Structure 1
Amino acid sequence: MENFAQVITALQQGEVIAYPTEAVFGVGCDPDNEQAVMKLLDIKQRPIEKGLILIAADYDQLLPYIDDSQLSPAQRQQIQATWPGPVTWVMPTKANVPPYLTGQFSTIAVRVTDHPLVQRLCREFGKPITSTSANLSGQEPGRTAAEVELQLGHCLPAILQGDTGGRDNPSEIRDAITGNVFRQG
């Protein structure tokens, strides 16, 4: 049975949650809450320099974070053609996006998901959430709520119950400016 209310409350309270994505479970939090992001990095044992992905219900939710004025119409069209879907794009950021999200980069990785539960989660939360695989760095990502519970359950107040989108590989990651593929999907 889904537990949306519990998950939304946890996000609003600055907690880190887990949720199913297109291929694996992700862990996420409010991208505008630095303490929550630091908690997420600590849980994952992930270096801040790597930066994080933001996952959203629609393109408009990403506009406070990305500077799409740096993209040509052709680049924008290429991005829009893959969304909603399992492609993450690395885009220029707005000047006010904090380094705890971008890491060592002047860009940010963003995705408009096609996973119905995550779309609903972002809509009800009212903005994107951070998205990184639900595992300790170097471990296999969880593909079920039970696997996430085993690996990270002791640090997460809420795991959104549901199934992944059934894809084998995590999202492809591409550069919005050059079109280069950073990670094959």
Structure 2
Amino acid sequence: MKTIVLKRGNHSYIVKETVKVLSSGGLVVFPSDTVYGLLADATNKYAINKLIEVKNRPFGKVISIFVDGWGMLDKQVEILSSQKQVLHEILPGAFTVILPSKHQVDSRLESEKNTLGIRLIKYLLINQLVRAFGKPLTATSANLSGKQPHYQLSTFQKELSSKKTQLIDLAIDAGNLPRNRPSTVIDLTKANIKVLRQGDRSVDKIYISKSEKETKKIALSIFNQNKKNVVKKPMVFIISGELGAGKTVFIKGIGEELGINNIISPTYTIAYEYPLKDKYFNKLSHFDLYQIDSAQDLEKIGIEEVLKPNNLLMFEWGEKIGNLIKVINKRAYIVYINIEYITEGSRKLRVSYNS
């Protein structure tokens, strides 16, 4: 099994090498938005044979697929007009959606009822890979059937026999992944939406902003709706989104209400602190994780010192928070914000909470 370590500057190389392996019917261990997964060409019977053998997958147990966007999604499943609104509210995100299959993939990935699980996620590297490959990929966790999912490549490797290890052609090592549970599974095949498996988060609301001013207003509204829920805990905003999406603008909207008019993104210093004179909070700690490359870097930011009651913490580039989420999850009230670029002036803000 060849292993490539994921680094900031080698994403294009990883996509290129992974596409080569997948194109030849290979099997790849790859990080995702939840856990390490096993990727294979969803249309290649030989690749699916290997996947089923590695996982000890029982016959009839379905396997979901990754798609790169709405066009590929529409080619794989039947979608009613009444279902489109629900799909656009929850996708892309940490959800698997069950819909009637159009039978474009290996039949063993489908259920006996001819349904198929679809994943359209916010993990950029997966989306780049599926787009480069041009076909859907399997979206199953890298673990033996019935075993726990893995957040480290090394723990999965220890689980494998030498025979199974030989069936895997490539592994991408992204280090320790955040301890997110697997995706929430939603069945949309019937009139009533049914949650088959609850993941870490449920979507509470989606906002559309058409200006920076509107983004600030939305941020303040979310803050005011939630601050009263914080009792003897710090309040934490974990904000994700691509470069220029508006993460700092969101934080400014809350900061200005609290009397802070000089908020800038602490990209190179990682953290800024602002004392507050507020009924609910004593201090605002603003973190920018863009420069974080390793678990060791995360340990240096001093989270223990500020993760205290009556403190407000804001994390930009929240997708890099790694194992810190375990500590924060136990001790804080968390609001997740994902900001998506729509057009030059428009953004979609997705709010979610720990379930």
In the alignment, which of 27, 51, 65 is matched to residue 38 of structure 2? 27
Contact 2:50 2:167 in 1 (8 A): no
Aligned to 1:182: 196
**Equivalent of 2:108 in 89, 97, 100:** 100
Pick one of 73, 91, 114 that aligns with 1:83: 91
**SS of equivalent residue, structure 1 residue 51:** coil
TM-score scaled by structure 2?
0.48
Task: Report which of the two has the higher share of strand.
Answer: 2
Distance change (3 Å), C-alpha of 1:135 and 1:12: same
Residue of structure 1 aligned with 2:65, choices 44, 49, 54: 54
Q: What is the DSSP-based 3-state SS (H/G/I as helix, E as strand, rest coil) of the residue aligned with 2:21?
A: helix
Q: Structure 1 residues 99 and 184, CA, compared in 2 at 3 Å: closer, same or farther?
A: same
Instruction: Give the SS at the match of 1:160.
Output: strand
Report how far residue 37 of structure 1 moved.
Answer: 0.8
2:47 corresponds to = 36
**C-alpha distance in 2 between matches for 1:117 and 1:161:** 13
Partner AA of 1:22 in structure 2 = D
Gap regions ≥5 residues in structure 2: 7-13, 200-355
Does the CA contact (< 8 Å) of 2:151 and 2:177 recur in 1?
A: no
User: 2:178 is matched with which residue?
Assistant: 166
Q: How many Å separate the matches in 2 of 1:22 and 1:96?
A: 25
Pair 28,74 (structure 1): closer, same or farther in 2 beyond 3 Å: same
Is the contact made by 1:65 and 1:94 (CA closer than 8 Å) also made in structure 2?
Answer: yes
Change (3 A) 1:96 1:83: closer
CA separation of 1:50/1:127 partners in 2, compared to 1, >3 Å: closer, same or farther?
A: same
Mapped to 2, the partners of 1:105 and 1:26 lie a distance apart of: 25
* 2:33 match: secondary structure: coil
Gap change, CA 1:16 and 1:182, over 3 Å in 2: same
Q: Is the 8 A contact 1:27 1:40 kept in 2?
A: yes
**Native 8 Å contact 1:48 1:103 kept in 2:** no
Q: After the TM superposition, list the runs of 4 or more consecutive aligned residues in structure 1 that deviate by more than 6 angstroms.
A: none
Aligned pairs (5 A) from 1:90-169: 90-95=98-103, 97-152=105-160, 153-162=165-174, 166=178, 168-169=180-181
Q: How many equivalent residue pairs?
A: 182
C-alpha contact 2:27 2:40 (8 A) present in aligned 1: yes
Question: Displacement, 1:146?
Answer: 2.4
CA distances 1:4-36 after superposition (whole Å, capped 9, x unpaired): 332211100001111111111110200110111
Change (3 A) 1:92 1:49: same
Distance (Å, rounded) in 1 between the aligned partners of 2:95 and 2:49: 25
Could you tell which deviates more after superposition, 57-66 or 76-85?
57-66
CA distance in 2, matches of 1:173, 1:142: 19
Question: Do the aligned partners of 2:27 and 2:51 also contact (CA within 8 Å) in 1?
Answer: yes
SS of the residue 2:132 aligns to: helix
Aligned mates of 1:97, 1:37 — CA distance in 2: 10
> Which structure has the bigger radius of gyration?
2
Tell me the CA shift for residue 161 of structure 1.
Answer: 3.1
State whether residues 20 and 164 of structure 1, in contact with CA within 8 Å, keep that contact through their aligned partners in structure 2: no
- What TM-score does the superposition give when structure 1 sets the normalisation length? 0.89
Counterpart CA distance in 2 for 1:143 and 1:161 is 10
Q: Which amino acid aligns with 2:25?
A: G
Cα RMSD (Å): 1.9
**2:102 partner amino acid:** K
Using the alignment, how far apart are the partners of 1:64 and 1:4 within structure 2?
A: 23
Q: Deviations over 1:118-146 (max 9, x none)?
A: 11111111122011110111222111222
Alignment of 1:2-21 (within 5 A): 2=6, 3-21=14-32
> What secondary structure does 1:81 align onto?
helix
